[in-house]
Amino acid sequence: MIDRRALIAAALAAPPLALAGRAAAAPVTLSKPCVISTWDFGVAANQAAWAVLSKGGSALDAVEAGARVPEADLKNHSVGRAGYPDRDGHVTLDASIMDAAGNCGAVAGLEHIAHPISVARRVMERTPHVLLVGDGALQFALEQGFPREDLLTPESRQAWQDWLKTAKYKPAANSEVDTYGKGAGGAANHDTIGMLALDAKGDLAGACTTSGMAWKLRGRVGDSPIVGAGLYVDGAVGAATSTGVGEEVIRNVGSFLVVELMRQGRSPQEACEAAVARILARKPETKDLQVGFLALNTKGEVGAWSIQRGFSYAMADVGKQDRLLPGGSVY
Ligand code: GLY
């Protein structure tokens, strides 16, 4: 059993760190194959991905299998079928997937389909396009045989109706943890699972899936389905994914930035720290928000860093499949 309280207590005991001049943390290195994911719910997702990787399966199959776990989890109000809706009561899902060769697919604002990550993969593999949105994404999913469902669960409906009483929109840091398993009245409003895998052949792949910010404006799209923002993979270098307030990630093309910094020689940890520093430097008020990056290079080195404390990430390789660590943070 993972003692999450002890992990987070250890993270909270650390003093706030100055942004400038802080040395990068020592990198964690996993053996091949391996998979890493954002947040506590990444543990269960990793185990599904590990079932693929440990049998010699591809990183692409692994991240799709893993991402489907939180998408199906009725306790998860930030991803998939139990995700909180927009302010008009519509559950709209965003997802992207990418392989080592640069093939990618994504859907944004997809309604009524519980597994947007699998629709994103079909966009990648069965269309000449990269991103389908809204009604077009739904039409494509239905044509591909995905079942149409009502995704607004009774708990999500109640949480939305509670929110309507005040209708205040303020993204809350770390709500992936705070709303997990909570029923109606869960305070807040984002986010995402990002998964990165390296398979036995040495190929990388990534997946990112979310219901986005709860109570968002209808039509709002975050970073998760935007290749380069919420997810980026370069098979020769590494892969990165993000979580948190998507607008800030899009403004800085965050995951592409992390991968490009790795290409220039930075470790995944150094690259994640530099990307967070870029966001803060360009817009200092982002210090009150949460953005986190997770990165994995072709050597199995891992990086994780966020603006606020409370970010967690999960790892699996042959040694252990249920590791959960607190990510380092600026504040
Ligand atoms: N990071 C997820 C979102 O902003 O929608």
List, for residues 243-291, the tens digit of each pLDDT value: 999 999 999 999 999 999 999 999 999 999 999 999 999 999 999 999 9
Q: What are the two backbone dihedrals, phi and then psi, of residue 204, each rounded to the nearest 5 degrees? A: -100, 155
Residues ≥6 apart with Cβ < 8 Å to 275: 240, 252, 254, 257, 258, 261, 293, 305
Cα 306 to ligand 1 centre (Å): 14
Partnered with residue 198 across adjacent β-strands are 34, 204
Annotated catalytic residue within 38, 92, 192, 209: 192
Ligand 1 pocket test, pick from 191, 290, 291 with the greatest ligand atom count within 8 Å of Cβ, gives 191
Domain ranges in the chain are: 29-329
Residue range 69-105, pLDDT digits in tens: 999 988 888 888 888 999 999 999 999 999 999 999 9
Fold annotation for 29-329: Glutamine Phosphoribosylpyrophosphate, subunit 1, domain 1 (3.60.20)
Cα 174 to ligand 1 centre (Å): 12
What is the position in ligand 1's atom list of the atom closest to the CA of 244? 1
Ligand 1 pocket test, pick from 110, 192, 216 with the greatest ligand atom count within 8 Å of Cβ, gives 192
Whether 92 is catalytic? no
Mean pLDDT over each residue of the chain, to the nearest integer? 89
Q: Are 230 and 246 in contact (CB under 8 A)?
A: yes
Q: Are 90 and 127 in contact (CB under 8 A)?
A: no
Q: Indicate the range of 6-15, 18-27, 89-98 predicted with least confidence.
A: 6-15
- C-alpha span between 331 and 321 (Å, rounded): 29
Residue range 169-203, pLDDT digits in tens: 776 656 555 555 554 434 344 578 999 999 999 99
pLDDT of residue 12: 36
- C-alpha span between 125 and 195 (Å, rounded): 19
- C-alpha span between 67 and 45 (Å, rounded): 6
* 181, 193, 218 from 87: Cα distances, Å: 21, 22, 7
Q: Are 86 and 217 in contact (CB under 8 A)?
A: yes
Cα 222 to ligand 1 centre (Å): 4
Partnered with residue 105 across adjacent β-strands are 97
Residue 322 one-letter amino acid: D
Spatial strand order of the sheet with 204-210 comes to 131-133, 104-110, 93-99, 204-210, 192-198, 34-38, 312-316, 323-326
Cα 52 to ligand 1 centre (Å): 27
pTM of the model: 0.89
8-state DSSP, 127 = S
Residue range 293-317, pLDDT digits in tens: 999 999 999 999 999 999 999 999 9
Residues ≥6 apart with Cβ < 8 Å to 3: none
What is the position in ligand 1's atom list of the atom closest to the CA of 246? 4
166 dihedral zone (left: phi>0; alpha: psi -120 to 50; beta)? alpha
What is the position in ligand 1's atom list of the atom closest to the CA of 247? 4
Q: Indicate the range of 20-34, 48-62, 293-307 predicted with least confidence.
A: 20-34
| Ligand 1 lining (C-beta closer than 6 Å) | 190-192, 210, 212-213, 222-224, 243-246
What is the position in ligand 1's atom list of the atom closest to the CA of 94? 5
